[in-house]
Amino acid sequence: MRKHDLFGKKIRKTNIFVLILVILIIELAAYLLIVNFQQNKINQLIALQTDLTLSIDEALSNNDPLEYLQISEMIQALPTEVSEFELTEELQFLKYYTGLSDEALFEVDYSFDVNSPLDHQLASTIRYVSISLTMEVDQSDLALEFYQNLIDQDRLYYVSSFITTLYTDGSARVEMTIYTFYNDIEV
């Protein structure tokens, strides 16, 4: 067989169509491998998402049952006296625990022996303290965090009103009316 054609050009022994066909087969195989790899990765992520969803659902459904006490049972646990100093200390602790800045507005006004904020009357020895709290927070989510920290305290608090004014810079002004209780008995 000749190595050069009529014009002196070297004759190739491979057909160009065969070469194109081999390249297409290699590309198709690579494409199928990549698609298979991605599909396996997606299946793993879907399985992980299902496991996480089941774990979250299980955690949410396994909440410890709440125990609600009767008012007569709670009366025994109430303190026998409350001072403005104790309440101020506790609110200042909550302020720093929540992360409110020292420069922010934090005004507290106390009123002792006020009327019951509840719809029904409690025992005649129960006394009520009204706390009017006005504060400004740098970040609006700190207001809810302060509220949650207040509710988590050992002292029994009743939040009568919670008014929040949000500002465009992300800060907020909060006005709260809180009540706490004490059992005015001799020990």
What is the structure's pLDDT at 24? 96
3-state secondary structure the chain: CCCECCCCCECCCCCHHHHHHHHHHHHHHHHHHHHHHHHHHHHHHHHHHHHHHHHHHHHHHCCCCCCCCCHHHHHCCCCCCCCHHHHHHHHHHHHHHHCCCCCCCEEEEEEECCCCCCCCCCCCCEEEEEEEEEEEECCCHHHHHHHHHHHCCCCCEEEEEEEEEECCCCCEEEEEEEEEEEECCCC
Sequence ranges of the domains in the chain: 1-63, 79-183
What is the structure's pLDDT at 68? 66
What is the structure's pLDDT at 123? 80
CA distance 140 to 55: 31
What is the structure's pLDDT at 42? 95
Amino acid, single-letter form, for residue 14? T
What is the structure's pLDDT at 63? 63
What is the structure's pLDDT at 41? 95
Predicted TM-score (pTM) of the model is: 0.59
**Taking the chain (187 residues) in consecutive chunks of 10 residues, what is each chunk's mean pLDDT?**
74 79 96 97 93 81 65 74 90 88 85 85 84 89 88 86 87 90 79
* CATH number at 79-183: 3.30.70.60
